[in-house]
Amino acid sequence: MSKTKTAEGVADALLDAHVAYLVDELTGEGLRELIALQLDGLLADAARLKLKDVVSARMIKDTARTYAAEIELGGGLPELVSAIARALYAHKIHDRTALKDVVAHARYEEFVDKLLELRSLREKLLRAVVGSPIYIAFASDLLYHGIKDYLARGSELTRNLPGAGSVMKLGRSVLNKASPGIEHMLDDQLRRYVAKSVEATSRRSAEFVLRHLNEDALRRMTREIWDKLKFEHFGGLREDLAADDIEDLFVIGYEFWRELRKTEIYTTLIDAGIDAFFELYGNRTLSALLDEIGVTRQMMLDEAMHFAPHVLKVLKRKKLLEAILRRGLEGFYRSGAVERVLAVHG
What residue ranges do the domains of the chain occupy?
Answer: 3-74+247-345, 99-232
To 10 degrees, what angle do helices 182-212 and 164-178 make? Answer: 120
Question: Given this model, what pLDDT does residue 185 score?
Answer: 55
Angstrom distances, CA of residue 262 to CA of 199, 206, 254, 256, 257: 40, 38, 13, 10, 9
Distance in angstroms (rounded) separating the CA atoms of residues 132 and 187: 24
**Start-to-end C-alpha separation, the chain:** 16
Return the axis-axis angle of helices 321-333 and 3-27, rounded to nearest 10°.
Answer: 150
pTM, 2 dp: 0.73
Rounded Cα gap, residues 94 and 246, in angstroms: 15
**Ramachandran angles phi, psi of 109, nearest 5°:** -65, -40
Question: Is residue 25 within 8 Å of residue 327, measured between CB atoms?
Answer: no
- In the predicted structure, residue 283 carries a pLDDT above the cut 70: yes
DSSP notation for 156-221: HHTTTSTTHHHHHHHHHHHHHHHSTTHHHHHHHHHHHHHHHHHHHHHHHHHHHHHHHS-HHHHHHH
* Per-residue pLDDT tens digits for 151-200: 666 555 455 545 444 544 544 554 455 445 444 555 666 667 667 777 66
Average pLDDT over residues 244-264: 89
Res. 140: pLDDT tops 50: yes
For residues 263 and 214, give the distance between their C-alpha atoms in angstroms, rounded to a whole number: 39
Share of the chain above pLDDT 70, in %: 82
Answer whether residue 118 shows pLDDT above 90. no
pLDDT in tens, 308-345: 999 999 999 999 999 999 999 999 999 989 888 888 88
Q: Give the pLDDT score at 212.
A: 72
Question: Which whole number is the average pLDDT over 113-128?
Answer: 85
- The arithmetic mean of pLDDT across residues 273-295, rounded, is 94
Q: Render 49-106 in DSSP notation, one character per residue.
A: -BHHHH--HHHHHHHHHIIIIIPPPPTHHHHHHHHHHHHHHH-GGGGG-BHHHHS-HH
Phi-psi region of 336 (alpha: psi -120 to 50; beta: other; left: phi over 0): left
Instruction: Tell me the per-residue pLDDT of 56-77, one tens digit each, with 9 for 90 and over.
Output: 999 999 999 999 888 888 878 8
Distance CA 342, CA 346 (A): 4
Give the pLDDT of residue 187.
Answer: 63
pLDDT of residue 77: 82
Q: pLDDT tens-digit profile of 213-224?
A: 778 888 888 899
Q: Identify the pLDDT of residue 154.
A: 53
Higher pLDDT pick, 98 / 134: 98
